[in-house]
A and B are shown apart, each in its own frame.
Chain A
Amino acid sequence: MTDSRKNLKTSSPSAALPVFSHRSADVFKQLIKQILLFIFALVMLYPILWMIASSLRGQNEIFKNMGLLVTHPIWSNYVKGWNALSYPFSRYFINSFIIVIFAIIGNTITCSLTAYAFARLDFSFRNLMFGFMLLMLMVPIHVIVIPQYIIWNSLGMINTIVPLVLPKFLAMDGFFVFLFYQFIRGIPRDLDEAAKLDGAGHLRIFFQVLLPLMKPAIGTTAVFTFMWTWNDFFSQLIYLTKPQYYTVPIALRTFIDAQSQSSYGPMFAMSVLSIVPLFLVFCFGQRYLVEGIATTGGK
């Protein structure tokens, strides 16, 4: 009942003259809304929860049991899955993490520097370059992927992390340049001017005045870079072809293609593990996620 009392407080402010019957109708409506929303949320999350439950089930049970309750968890699925491919999954996790870490470092440093120039500096061809960057955000990557692949191939860089990581150190993720750009534009110019009067150059202004204020944007960049690099299937698929360099998504894909009928449990187990890092980022970085999509996806 406490629930409905809480709802009373939040009932529509438009009811300038609250009549009792009106209010209790409101409470009832709120309750129905809550129940329906909760059921809907459950339906939305059901497949994920079912996958987790299935990762602990035996082969015969997986497709018969729609429930989420696991009575006899088969933890050996995880051990089997971990060692199912030519290398243990630890190798693929390490490979993925290395790429993700470099990507985060590259993106935060170079995208913020580029954004500073676009937001605060007055230089030749600024609009042209800014326009090109925005345009590249909207052009399908496939027009550059093929020549890029040919270039990296001729340089002998296939099966290294260079093609995956170097672009991040050259600020090629325009999305984050734009994110930092928006953020810097929101910081009052007075701060720069004051620092300039104190004799600070642009580098000092960037590192000592703006960078400390940019923590939220850095957080958002780190979180999104993590997410997108972790899930990046296409480029890892074309650049990493030897099993010892496989990342988690590529390994997982090999798993499905190679699986026999008896390995659904272990396959689900590895699928679950592969999204654990994402889930952790989701839990701890949620503030940055929400802020990030609100500032770049919004107006």
Chain B
Amino acid sequence: MSYAAEFASLVKDREKEKRKHPDNKAACAFMAPWVIGAVLLSLIPMVASVVLSFTKYNMLTSPKFVGLQNFATLFKDIRFQHSLRVTFTYVIVSVPLQLLAALALAVILDRGMKGLTFYRSAFYLPSMLGGSVAIAVLWKMVFGSEGLFNNFLSMFGLHVTQSWIGNPTTANWTLVALHVWQFGSAMVIFLAGLRQIPRELYEAASVDGAGKWRQFRSITMPMLSPIVFFNLVMSIINSFQTFTQAFVVSGGTGGPSDSTLFYTLYLYQQGFGQLKMGYASAMAWILVLIVAVFTLINFALSKYWVYYDD
């Protein structure tokens, strides 16, 4: 079970009964590092973050309680709205595209494809390197005004001299492309999932006269849907936190004209650039809220398309 599913089932059947726990002593030893970490590095910071979000704090003078002012300011902050628009566009376009690419390639490569290992490696490699600064640098060069992409276009007689990264209307799309380019790791997960589907199902279906497309719709999709669902949920959560690529491509500014001002990049600028720790904390909690809403919507919609056999 994926951890999202594990968490959901945990919430569903909380055990209420009191009973003896025979291993408390041993657990003290095994759990000690985690418990210390969870309290000192997660729980306390989280509480502190809530408190901070109601204050003005620049790390030099002591925090000043300002109530909901940070949140009120955020809603009027034009750059904040930009960052929301940029991030939403990115997530809503790039996540489905990436998963579709992963699914399509996984289905093509599944079963008896010659050279599976080669293709799997070739498609996986970008997703392994994609998060690095080096690839972000490369992307900047590929989509620059004299970059590889414009050279490529000129092969077809299209002489474009604009920089795709320097142009506010296209900059975000180059990052979407970068995200889709990294479909490999989801593809590997889907490939593993496809292998779990009993072959007899397909054989039975083809005896009944079901074509390839029908088999995909009635067997592959339902059987794979829990895995696709988990990846959709996690992919959305992670994409909302995209930082490195936007930072490197724009030199930390989120430009041109805020077109790559991703949510976490703006949070970084406010928190670590201008030392507005309260403001940045408020932003962090709004991000949690957004991610939570997306996740809940996903879970709510899942009953229409995700199939659990148990």
Contacts and interface: CB of A to CB of B under 8 A. Distances in A.
Chain B interface, >50% SS class: helix
Interface in B47-67: 48-49, 52, 59
Given A143-B46, A299-B226, A114 B31 contact: yes
Contacts of B33: 110, 113-114, 169-171
Interface in B225-270: 226-227, 230-231, 234, 237, 240-241, 243-244, 247-248, 251-252, 264, 267-268
B137 A267 contact: yes
Given A63-B146, A138-B237, A271 B134 contact: yes
A91 B288 CA distance: 37
Given A142-B241, A149-B272, A296-B2, A33 B23 contact: no
Interface of B: 1-7, 10-11, 14-15, 21-24, 26-27, 29-31, 33-38, 40-46, 48-49, 52, 59, 108-109, 112-115, 118-126, 128-129, 131-135, 137-142, 144, 146-148, 151-152, 155, 181, 185-186, 188-189, 192-193, 196, 202-203, 206, 226-227, 230-231, 234, 237, 240-241, 243-244, 247-248, 251-252, 264, 267-268, 271-272, 277, 280-281, 283-285, 287-288, 291, 295
Contacts of B30: 113-114, 116-117, 121, 202, 206
A37 B108 contact: yes
B3 A178 contact: yes
Interface of A: 3, 6-7, 10, 13-14, 30, 33-34, 37, 41, 44-45, 47-48, 50-51, 54, 62-64, 66, 110, 113-114, 116-117, 121-124, 126-127, 129-151, 153, 167, 169-172, 174, 177-178, 201-203, 206, 227, 230-231, 233-234, 237-238, 248-249, 252-253, 256-257, 264, 267-268, 271-272, 274-275, 278-279, 282, 286, 289-290, 293-294, 296-299
Contacts, number: 309
Nearest to A234: B243
Contacts of B285: 143
Chain A interface, >50% SS class: helix
A147 B42 CA distance: 10
B46 A144 contact: yes
Contact of B126 (A48, A144, A145, A252): A48
A49 to B, nearest CB: 11
Nearest first, the 9 A-B pairs at minimum CB distance are A170-B37, A294-B192, A123-B27, A147-B45, A271-B134, A117-B30, A10-B112, A147-B48, A121-B23
